[in-house]
Amino acid sequence: MKKFSKQRELILKNLNSRTDHPTAETLYLDLKQQMPEIGIATIYRNLSELWEQGEIIKIKSKTGPDRFDGNTKPHIHFHCDNCGQLLDISLQPKQMEELDNEIAIFANQIKALATSSEIIITGICKNCRKINK
Ligand SMILES: [Zn+2]
Ligand SMILES: [Zn+2]
């Protein structure tokens, strides 16, 4: 079993305390304040280990570097094409169940069995639409 390093603990804590889905670079700049000796390579290595172990979510982006999320509860993402913000959309258990059923049906169209899914809706966020509600 791998040792749970201090750095790893800090990275996870930082990710869990925010909802902005930072990039490795953003995390690095942030954590450097607390741990001046930390290097970007350490951040990358720990993020990929945490991701492999299912402790965090990695969201790939067409337009920029990968984004990371400490929230592993079922939720879907919204990516704003205008400002680049990545927002969480939490689903009610009922909605999640309906979505899972639909996904199972889609996978079944090719006789596959769905075990997980990542949904990213893209579009224009509330702020960029200038809706103040
Ligand atoms: Zn936006
Ligand atoms: Zn998220």
Instruction: Compute the distance between CA of residue 7 and CA of residue 13 in angstroms, rounded to an integer.
Output: 10
Measured from the alpha carbon of residue 118, the closest ligand is: 2
Contact 58, 66 (CB under 8 A): yes
- The confidence score (pLDDT) of residue 19 equals 92
Residue-range domain boundaries for the chain: 1-69, 73-133
Tell me, in angstroms, the distance from the centre of ligand 2 to residue 33's CA: 24
Tell me if 1-69 shares its fold with 73-133: no
φ, ψ at 59 (rounded to 5°) = -115, 115
What is the number of other CB atoms lying within 10 angstroms of the CB of residue 18?
15
Tell me, in angstroms, the distance from the centre of ligand 2 to residue 68's CA: 8
Tell me, in angstroms, the distance from the centre of ligand 2 to residue 15's CA: 11
Q: Does domain 73-133 have CATH number 1.20.1270.10?
A: no
- The confidence score (pLDDT) of residue 4 equals 57
Tell me, in angstroms, the distance from the centre of ligand 1 to residue 45's CA: 30
pLDDT tens-digit profile, the chain (133 residues)? 455 588 899 999 999 999 999 999 999 999 999 889 899 999 999 999 999 999 999 998 777 899 999 998 889 999 999 999 999 999 999 999 999 999 999 999 999 999 988 899 999 999 999 876 5
Tell me, in angstroms, the distance from the centre of ligand 1 to residue 82's CA: 5
Measured from the alpha carbon of residue 85, the closest ligand is: 1
> How far, in Å, are 8, 48, 65 from residue 69 at the CA level?
14, 12, 13
At 129, the amino acid letter reads R
- The confidence score (pLDDT) of residue 125 equals 95
DSSP letters along the chain, please?
-----HHHHHHHHHHHT--S---HHHHHHHHHHH-TT--HHHHHHHHHHHHHTTSSEEE--SSSS-EEES--SSEEEEEETTT--EEEEE--HHHHHHHHHHHHHHHHTTT--------EEEE--HHHHT---
Q: What is the CATH number of domain 1-69?
A: 1.10.10.10
